Amino acid sequence: MSQLLENYIITRQLTESYCHPLTTEDFIPQVEVFASPPLWHLAHTTWFFEEMILKPFVSNYCEFNPLFGFLFNSYYESKGARQPRHRRGAITRPGVEEVYQYRMAVDIAIKKILTSQNKVSNHVKNLITLGINHEQQHQELLLTDLKLALSYNPLLPTYNANWCPQTPQEKQLTGWQNIDEGVFLIGYEGDGFYFDNELNRHKTYIQNTQIRRNLVSNIEYLEFMSDGGYNNPHLWHSDGWDWVQQNRANSPMYWQRSDDTWQEYTLKGLQPIEKNSPVSHINYYEASAFTSWCGYRLPTEFEWEVASTQLNWGQRWEWTQSAYLPYPGFNISDGAVGEYNGKFMINQMVLRGASIFTSPNHSRHTYRNFFHPQTQWQMTGIRLAR
């Protein structure tokens, strides 16, 4: 079995394993516009392989269902009309069983390509690799979207009492990492997979900087809260303070106070706050306000990349103070795959690292995640710089 075929099978199986604890009803709800139901994730990742690989490169390929393109396209304008994003939760037909049949049919076709005696072009192999990484992104989204949906249930149900996400090997690091002033090369270099937004590798000047080796913990964030951090407008950006007021924010997402004790909703249900764990589900506004409160700042994405080999990272996606913009010489690819990253390079902030929800083998020190500054539902945290 080729490595590419093995990676494909493992990825597809992992997505479905995340759905094993679900009831049929769990596959449908969409509680916010920005979140998608598990049913949609299962189908969309399958549509990606069918649309980008099977239809253009397999002669006489017969679509599983020609209507699925409308239902399960996400944002690819070049692929035609699609179901409005806020109505993904209205898709109750096809049902769960049919979506699994769809996955199986596409899996058979992809495996046939990869086991064929005919030579598979590098272009098709690269597209399959992109599809694998695309599905890995959706695996994390599936979990965070599911957690959000379950949290809207007043009973705060348990997704899986034995849930234990794969965590990276932690380095026992404390203190601060120095970066001496200089010019550094930033961006991807190598022979492995990368997203186009990690190119082109380029020189960046960085001043003398220190970055804390470990992330801000829950107990540190509790001190910020106890000191009135959510009530002090001087700590917040103007947009951030508007967000605080509009949402009556007073704690990280999923935190609840009961009998003077803070608890956090997790995929294992409501749990006591683990004081020494990295704080999570923090948006950019909160991260920035916290750094103002303690007299530090967020690192730039370039500082983070340079220091990353000496940092304890992989527990939370880490906000940086860098806007999501193209690197020098960045080019958008032709065709639908060109819509993957480039068109989102506005009004968003870069996050670096990975989280405990990130799929195995889907992180690297040049990876550029990006979200709007009000985003909380991802596993996001805070690292300090000075």
Range from 72-81, 113-122, 370-379 that averages highest in pLDDT: 370-379
Note whether residue 76 is domain-resident.
yes
Residues 203, 146 within the same domain: no
Token pair listed for 302:
């370039």
pLDDT digits over 146-166, tens only?
999 999 999 999 999 988 876
- At 263, is the pLDDT very low, low, confident or very high (cuts 50, 70, 90)? very high
Beta strands across the sheet bearing 255-258: 255-258, 261-266, 269-272
**What is the mean pLDDT of the segment spanning 222-239?**
98
Whether residue 168 is predicted with pLDDT greater than 80 in this model: the reply is no
Q: Report the percent of the chain where pLDDT is more than 90.
A: 89
Q: Which of 59, 37, 55 is nearest to 131 (CA)?
A: 55
Query: In degrees rounded to 5, what are phi and psi of residue 329?
Result: 80, 5
Residues 13, 118 within the same domain: yes
Note whether residue 138 is domain-resident.
yes
Residues 208, 332 within the same domain: yes
Residues 190, 116 within the same domain: no
Residues 22, 60 within the same domain: yes
Residues 131, 219 within the same domain: no
Helices 284-294 and 238-247: crossing angle in degrees, nearest 10, is 110
The total number of structural domains that make up the chain: 2
Note whether residue 166 is domain-resident.
no
CATH number at residue 184: 3.90.1580.10
Note whether residue 375 is domain-resident.
yes
Q: Which of 145, 55, 43 is nearest to 101 (CA)?
A: 43
Per-residue model confidence (pLDDT) at position 166: 66
pLDDT digits over 317-343, tens only?
999 999 999 999 998 877 767 767 888
Residues 329, 237 within the same domain: yes
The rounded mean pLDDT for the chain is 95
**pTM score:** 0.95
Residue at a domain's end among 151, 185, 200 = 151
Per-residue model confidence (pLDDT) at position 311: 95
Note whether residue 171 is domain-resident.
no
Residues 142, 225 within the same domain: no
CATH number at residue 85: 1.20.120
pLDDT digits over 2-17, tens only?
999 999 999 999 999 9
Per-residue model confidence (pLDDT) at position 283: 98
Residues 132, 185 within the same domain: no
Query: Where do we find the tokens 């034995």?
Result: 162
Residues 197, 331 within the same domain: yes
Whether residue 89 is predicted with pLDDT greater than 90 in this model: the reply is yes
Q: Indicate the range of 165-174, 186-195, 280-289 predicted with least confidence.
A: 165-174
Residue at a domain's end among 108, 136, 151 = 151
Residues 291, 186 within the same domain: yes
Residue at a domain's end among 102, 135, 151 = 151
Task: For residue 29, give its domain range.
Answer: 3-151
Whether residue 285 is predicted with pLDDT greater than 80 in this model: the reply is yes
Note whether residue 350 is domain-resident.
yes
Note whether residue 82 is domain-resident.
yes
Note whether residue 358 is domain-resident.
yes
Residues 129, 182 within the same domain: no
